[in-house]
Amino acid sequence: MEFSLMTLNLFFIIFYKYMLLHDKEELEENYEEMLDVISEAGFKYVDILGMEVDCLGIDYVKEQLDKHNLKVNSYMFSQQFAKTAADDAANRALDTEIINAGKQAVENAQNLGTKTLMLIPQVREDMSGMSKDEIHANMIRRMTPIVSYAKEVGITTVIEDTPNLQLHLCSTEDLKNVSAKIPEVRIVYDSGNMVLVDEDPVKYFHNFENEIAHVHLKDMQTTTNMQRRPDRGLDGRFWETAPSGAGVIDFKSICAAVKNSNFKGHPTIEFATSPEMSIPDALVASRVYFEKLWSEI
C-alpha cells in the first residue's frame, strides 16, 4: 500500500512566518524544502490544502509537485460553509461567493490531477449563538451545488466528522443527517475525530462503510498545551494529533477494517511529530508504522 501524506501540519510551519512577513520568495524556498522532505521520506502521494494554492499559485504548486514526483491524493478546500451573514441579502451574497470559490476548487482539483475534493467548514468566529439546524442548513445549501458541479466533471466530493464541535458534525448522527441531504456527497473517514464525542473509531468506520471514499489516519492524544490550539471534546478534555502509534487510536483494528472494505484508495496519514524526533525522521517513522501494520493484516 502506498500511503499519502497530508501536508497540513508541515505547511502551517512555513505559512505562519509568511503570514507575518509576506515574503513570498522565502515561502517558495520553504515549500520546496517541505516537498523535498516529504519526498525523501518515501511518500509518493500528498493531500494538499487550498491554502497552498492560494498562497503560491496553482502553476507553481503543480510545477513543484511534478519536480518532486508527488501526486495529489486529494484537494482540501476550506470555507465558511456554516456561517450566517448579517441579513438575507448578505447571506445570499455569501452563498454565491462560497459556491463560486467551491467551483474554482473543483477546477483546481482537476488541474492538480486528483479525483477527490474535500470540503472543510471553517470556524472563524464564535458560533455558539447558532442552532444546529441553522448550521446544518447553511452547510447543505452551500455544499450541494459544489458537489453537483464536481460530479459533472468526475470528481468525488467528501466531508468528514469535523472536530470543531461548534459545527455539530462530529457524531455519527449529525454527519449522517448532513450527508443524507447532499446528493452524491461521500464521507472521508477520519480515525481520530470521533473520540471527541466519545464514539468508537472502528464502529464509526462501519457506520459509514458504504459511503467512505477517502480515509485519514490520525492518532489522538489529550493535551494541556493550549498553544497547539487543541480541539475540545464533549467531556471538556482537549485533544491534539499524536505521532502515529503514540496516541489512543487502535490502528490495527482500523487498518483491518479499511483493508477489508471496498475502499481502494491511498489512506492519508495525518502527521504529528514529538520533541524527541526530527521532522524528517518522524515522517519516515509514520510511513513505516502504517506500512508494517498494513502488511501484517
Partner 1 sequence: MELYSNISHVDKKVSRIFFGTQSNQMCMGQDSTEVLDSVVACGIQTLDTARAYTASEKVIGDWMKKRGNRNDLVILSKGGHPSAFGRKRINDTDIRKDLERSLKYLQTDYIDIYLLHRDDPDVPVAEICEIMNALHNEGKIGAFGGSNWSVKRIQELNDYAHAHDLIPFEVSSPHYGLAEQIGISWDNTCESITGAGKAADRKWYADTQIPVIAYSSLGRGLMSGKFTSNNLDDVYKYMDEPARKGYAYEANFKRLARCEELAKEKGCLVPQIALAWMFYQGMNVYSIISTTNPERMKRNLAALDIQLTPEECKYLNLED
Strand partners, 48: 75
Q: Of residues 206-225, which lie at the interface with partner 1 (CB under 8 A)?
A: 225
Coil, strand or helix at 71: strand
Spatial distance between the Cα atoms of 125 and 83, rounded to a whole number of angstroms: 9
How far apart CA 119 and CA 78 sit, in angstroms, is 6
User: Which of 14, 70, 249, 254 is close enough to bind partner 1 by CB under 8 A?
Assistant: 14
Q: Which residues pair with 158 in a beta bridge?
A: 118, 186
Applying CB under 8 A, does 34 fall inside the site for partner 1? yes
Considering beta carbons, is residue 29 or 54 the nearer one to partner 1? 29
Strand partners, 242: 219
CB of 37 to partner 1, least distance (A): 5
Q: Is residue 145 a contact point for partner 1 (CB under 8 A)?
A: no
What minimum distance in Å lies between the beta carbon of 279 and partner 1? 5
Cell of 30: 520553504
Asked if 239 and 233 count as a contact pair (C-beta separation under 8 A), the reply is yes
Q: Please count the residues of this chain forming the interface with partner 1, following the rule CB under 8 A.
A: 19
Among 1, 8, 37, 202, binds partner 1 (CB under 8 A): 37
Among 3, 26, 284, 285, binds partner 1 (CB under 8 A): 26
Contact of 211 with 115, CB cutoff 8 Å: no
Which span (13-21, 70-78, 153-161, 214-222) binds partner 1, by CB under 8 A? 13-21
Residue 8 binds to partner 1 (criterion: CB under 8 A): no
Among the candidate windows 9-17, 172-180, 211-219, 263-271, which touches partner 1 by CB under 8 A? 9-17
Please tell me whether residue 287 adopts helix, strand or coil conformation. Answer: helix
Does 20 bind partner 1 (CB under 8 A)? Our answer is: yes
* 16 binding partner 1? (CB under 8 A): yes
From 69-77, 209-217, 258-266, 272-280, give the range in contact with partner 1 by CB under 8 A. 272-280
For partner 1, which stretch binds (CB under 8 A), given 90-98, 192-200, 233-241, 278-286?
278-286
- 226 part of the interface to partner 1, by CB under 8 A: no
Tell me: does residue 13 bind partner 1 (CB under 8 A): yes
Q: What's the min distance (Å) between Cβ of 49 and partner 1?
A: 17
Closest CA to 31 of 66, 7, 3, 5: 7
Rounded Cα gap, residues 213 and 152, in angstroms: 17
Closer Cβ to partner 1, 34 or 182, answer by number = 34
Per CB under 8 A, which region of 1-9, 25-33, 65-73, 92-100 contacts partner 1?
25-33
In the complex, the smallest distance separating the C-beta of residue 30 from partner 1, rounded to whole angstroms, is 7
Query: Contact, 158 vs 187, CB < 8 A?
Result: yes
CA–CA separation, 287 and 285 (whole Å): 6
For the beta carbon of residue 180, count every other beta carbon within 10 angstroms: 11
For 192-215, letters b (16+ CB in 10 Å) and e give: bbbbbbebebbebbebbbebbbbb
- Residue 56 host element (H or E): helix 50-56
Q: Which residues bind partner 1 (CB under 8 A)?
A: 10, 13-14, 16-17, 20-21, 23, 26, 30, 33-34, 36-37, 225, 275, 278-280
